Structure formats: structure tokens, C-alpha cells
Structure 1
Amino acid sequence: MAISDADDDLLDSLVRLLRLFDDPRELQVLGAGVRREIHWRLLNGPHAALMRQAGMADSRLALVARAVEWVRSRYDRVIRIDDLAWDIGISVSSRNRHFRAVTAMSPLQYQKLRLQHVDHRLRQQIRLQKARMELIAAPHDVAAIGYAVGYDSPSQFSREYRRMFGAAPGRDAIRLQSAVIVCE
């Protein structure tokens, strides 16, 4: 691996890509072009040889990327080490060595971590959806509803709610309540 300062052209294209995430329609139309520009700049930058090597089908990074994708696509199943090695086309010992070198964990450790992450996100989304439903009925009781769905602090609840729904809980509840009244 290598580290260097990004030049202004690369930073500009990265910032443009990040800004596209604010508007899904623009991202859908312009995103591929900006990503292609970023790839171009990386493949022609100071670490071009390293970038090209990473993209080679038989490089360590490419093998591990395939293994990671294989594990991700099967996060909800028991995986067999032999199946993983067979599917990506390397021996078990070679796969373990490469996987650990890139991720600092075994494929099984990675899968368990991934399962924990998916489970946590799903539980968080369910809690926030439940809170949203309760806020429609009681928009002025934000802190109590946050506690009721399992948050220890109102600021954490508000921050995660805003991240998921795009507005603070109280404001979102009032907006939703007025939308329900208009529809009735």
C-alpha cells in the first residue's frame, strides 16, 4: 500500500462525487462519469502502477475483494471455508493468508462482524420506525419516545433519527401529523 497527497484535480472530482449524493437523480445521471474520472486520475497518478496491480485479476487485493464479496453475499448463511476457496480459485491456506493480510481477520471473523453490523442496523431502523409512528400520536414527547424505543440519550436519538429521516424528530412528527390531517 502507498500513501500520498491527492492533487487538486483528484480532490475536485471526489468532492463533486460526494455532492452528487445529495441529489439521487443527479447521482444516477452523472455519477458514473465522475467515478470514471476518478478512476482515470488514480490510474494516471503517482501510484498508477500500484493501482493497476491492485486491479489485476490475480492480485492479492483482487482475490480478497472477491472473497469479501462472496462472504457478504452469504452473510445470512453458514459458510464453508472450502467453498469459499473453491469459488475464488485458490487454496484454503493461500486464501486465509491473503484475507488476513488485507482485512486483519479470518473470513469467518469477517462474516461474524458483518452479521453483527447488519443485525445492529436492522434493529436500529426498526426502533426508529417505531419511534416515528409513536411521534405522530405524541409529537411533543420526543425524549420519552426515544427512551421508550431504547435510546439512552435524547441527543443520540435525535441525531440517528435525523440521519434516517432527514429531519429532527419533533419537526418530522409535526410535518407528518399535518400531512395526515390534510389527507383525511
Structure 2
Amino acid sequence: MRGAVTRRPFIAAAMGANGGQAPAHVHADRGTSMTSKPVAALLADLNIAQSHSRPRVSNDNLYSEAQFRTLKYCPAFPGQFGSIAHARAFCQEFFTYYNHEHRHSGIGLHTPASGHLGTAGQIRTERARTLQAAYAANPGRFRRKPTPPSLPKTVWINEPVEEETSSDIEQVA
């Protein structure tokens, strides 16, 4: 039960960061802490669905892997940390930057925060207006009319596979 006790502050902090709302889903690797019965019971009590990476697939969570690669190759990443406090301070600054400032190509050059907060559509609209104004002012500068990158309709870690129905099979035959 010790694991659930130590996780409660973590879950409470995560919920507090999301306006007091529990997430609908939590995706994790298959580490012992996230597959333990106390954590599973805690998430079930909070009505949070759990999903896990596939067994023995180290790069199943591509978003997490991309974040770790960005962290690892960050020019400011130290060769080693002097203390746990140093590591925490560095990571706090890095993750704030990564989530609120770093533009991600896979989400239309938006930040994860803009996607999470629902502002990506408005930002894309403003970018389109700016690009249209630039094109109107100097069309010779462009080879074609510029548009901002599109936003993905959905983002999945492991997209569910749709099951075939009998009507799907009949249409193929």
C-alpha cells in the first residue's frame, strides 16, 4: 500500500495542474510502480483509465521518447548533475520550456500547452491572418500563397485497432 500513499500527492498535484480535474487516461511504461495493484486501485477509484506500452517495446510511447531525445541533445544538458537538487532544477526549467515554448513539428508548430489548453486553433487562425497580410503586402516574396501547418485531428500513443464488422466483410466480397 506504500506505493499508493506516495502516489496520492503526485496524482493530486497533476489534478491541481489541470483545474482539479482527473485525467481520463494515464499511459505509462510497464514499470513496477505503474503496474502495481495499489496504483491500479487508486486510478480505478479516481475513474482514470490506464494504458501501458507493449511488453518489451522500449519506444512505444513516441511522445515521451521524442521528449527524452530533445532533453538528451539539448545543448544546455550537463554531462552530469552535481546533486538531485541540480537535476530537479534543470528538469523543471527544461520541461517548462518544452511544454510552453518549444514548437513541435508534429502538432503544427504549436506547444503542447497550446494543444492542451485548446488555444492551438485560435493561434493557427492568427498565423493564417499574418501570413495572408504578408502575402498581400509582398506576393513576389513567396513562391505560393503561404498557409500555417495544419493541426492533427487526433493524436494517439497507441491508436486502437478498429475491429471488422460483418458489414465490412460483405462490402469487400
**TM-score per shorter chain, which class?**
under 0.3
Q: TM-score, normalised by structure 1?
A: 0.25
Of Structure 1 and Structure 2, the greater strand share is in: 2
Of Structure 1 and Structure 2, the greater helix share is in: 1
Q: TM-score, normalised by structure 2?
A: 0.26
* Structure having the higher Rg: 1
Higher relative contact order (CA 8 A, sep 6+): 2
